[in-house]
Structure 1
């Protein structure tokens, strides 16, 4: 009798235990569902509280660290105004430019906003409207004997890795002329950032640097008359904000806000903070 009673009690206990486990599993599923819903909300513009911008912290005047140690720049000022108008907190996230796609795909950033060339990348991202027409130029030392693109034959040239300058020289959409130009170099060196490139140029380790005109003007203005820019340009391109492919809702919200900024004059006010870098002549949004 005692054995039967013990068996009944054990069976009852197991039933309660299994029910408890089932309840915990259900709770876990419910929590996961809630978490997934929250993550899904973060993909669009209407429910978000933060806006995470991925940028190269050494790409002035679009994004860089100022003398006070704060991240600033033309693109970051635009992003701040967009966030202010939408009630979002701007999170400025410096990234390794080579890892920008991984950062975007993983969701650790919401967009790439940092003088980001859209030409040739239209199928890889969901882009905003272009807002800057940019040119790729060549900078040499002031006393260099290089005066035109053809003079780069047999020279050592620096360019930032995975940059628009590199794409213009040897990317899939590079012109035949630029590919021939690149083939004429003694060496094309890829560096992590343009500060390194200009140190190399200043020391004589390289003969020229290929880069965006805005960055070129910044570097030249900050280093006196040590450098000069060739009159011939390598190419022209357009900058836009790159969102994860398919994220049209967030793109549309940001674009709508930018268009409002153009209409009320705020965009122009921010642009005029960067006259030293020729930005008023380069912007194309609203034209």
Structure 2
């Protein structure tokens, strides 16, 4: 009987020791996990701070000392004048803004249809070229406040009959691919039924109408005012209709902090009269 009791007591002692051992091990493991979690959180916080610094577009642009500006040839915004000088409202305004930011402007010609792709890829720092602030652009980039007014217009030969968009249901209409003009054409009931002819840049639409290859073109009002009528190469073309009112802005990468800095520069250039002087020079109307 004593042997049986001894055996039972021994077994109980073993189980007790095992339980203590397991408890100590569990406590030790839990403490280790807590320590590891704290270390991970600290590392993540440090990394987050570094990432936030690295994500500052403004710091990046200022460090390299240049702002690469994506544009297409488009008078009166960005173009080469008769004396061979690269100029225009946007050219001069961008140069003035870059001076405010302490960087040099670098103008890089792009394909307008893939402008946001180039922006996201980092081959350009911004899109600055009479760019209409469409819903799509504002959703996918960081935009400045509007700085100039615009509209989409129908350009045709002076002698062409026009009583409304219904006259162009079966016509050929030239437009710039990826532009606000394309969106306007596709959204308008009559114009969307026409034979739409895409061109790489807006200026290429005018020869199509001049030659009779297209009956009309849908363009920015600012370009039409600068490139058709008396004193231009297209004296027999005129604006037949104004379709809608738009505003121009500058686009930076989504989440970029440069847009806010450019807005501050715009405010300073409005206050000192620079923007109004440029608007007068290039026959534009500033946004309110």
Please classify the TM superposition score into its range, dividing by the shorter chain length.
Answer: 0.7 to 0.9
In the alignment, is residue 96 of structure 1 matched against residue 111 of structure 2? yes
Q: Secondary structure in 2 aligned to 1:59? A: coil
What does residue 217 of structure 1 align with?
225
What does residue 87 of structure 1 align with?
102
Larger radius of gyration: 2
Given candidates 257, 281, 286, the residue that maps to 1:283 is 286
In the alignment, is residue 43 of structure 1 matched against residue 52 of structure 2? no
Q: CA deviation at 1:41?
A: 7.7
Pairing 1:119-130 to 2, within 5 Å after superposition: 119-121=134-136, 122-130=138-146
What does residue 244 of structure 1 align with?
253
Q: CA deviation at 1:227?
A: 0.8
What does residue 182 of structure 1 align with?
191
The whole-number CA distance in structure 2 between the counterparts of 1:147 and 1:192 is 29
What does residue 18 of structure 1 align with?
none
Q: CA deviation at 1:107?
A: 1.2
CA RMSD in angstroms comes to 2.0
The whole-number CA distance in structure 1 between the counterparts of 2:163 and 2:88 is 31
In the alignment, is residue 54 of structure 1 matched against residue 65 of structure 2? no
Q: CA deviation at 1:224?
A: 5.1
Count of residue pairs brought into register by the alignment: 233
Output the TM-score relative to the length of structure 1: 0.76
What does residue 167 of structure 1 align with?
183
Given candidates 93, 99, 115, the residue that maps to 1:78 is 93
Q: Secondary structure in 1 aligned to 2:246? A: strand
Q: Is the 8 A contact 1:71 1:92 kept in 2?
A: no
Q: CA deviation at 1:229?
A: 0.9
Q: CA offsets, 1:162-205, max 9 Å, x none?
A: 111001121xxx3xxx1x112432x1111112332111111111
What does residue 15 of structure 1 align with?
none
Q: CA offsets, 1:113-139, max 9 Å, x none?
A: 111111212211110001122110000
In 2 relative to 1, CA 224–190 (structure 1 residues): closer, same or farther, beyond 3 Å?
closer
Q: CA offsets, 1:194-230, max 9 Å, x none?
A: 3321111111111000011011111214225311111
The whole-number CA distance in structure 1 between the counterparts of 2:235 and 2:122 is 43
Gaps of 5+ in 2: 1-49
Q: Is the 8 A contact 2:210 2:234 kept in 1?
A: no
The whole-number CA distance in structure 2 between the counterparts of 1:74 and 1:155 is 33
What does residue 153 of structure 2 align with?
137
Q: CA deviation at 1:86?
A: 2.3
Gaps of 5+ in 1: 1-35
Q: CA deviation at 1:144?
A: 0.9
Q: Secondary structure in 2 aligned to 1:240? A: strand
Q: Is the 8 A contact 2:185 2:192 kept in 1?
A: no
Q: Is the 8 A contact 1:41 1:47 kept in 2?
A: no
Q: CA offsets, 1:124-159, max 9 Å, x none?
A: 111000112211000001111224322212211111
Q: Secondary structure in 2 aligned to 1:233? A: strand
Q: Secondary structure in 1 aligned to 2:178? A: coil
In the alignment, is residue 226 of structure 1 matched against residue 242 of structure 2? no
Given candidates 103, 106, 120, the residue that maps to 1:105 is 120
Output the TM-score relative to the length of structure 2: 0.75
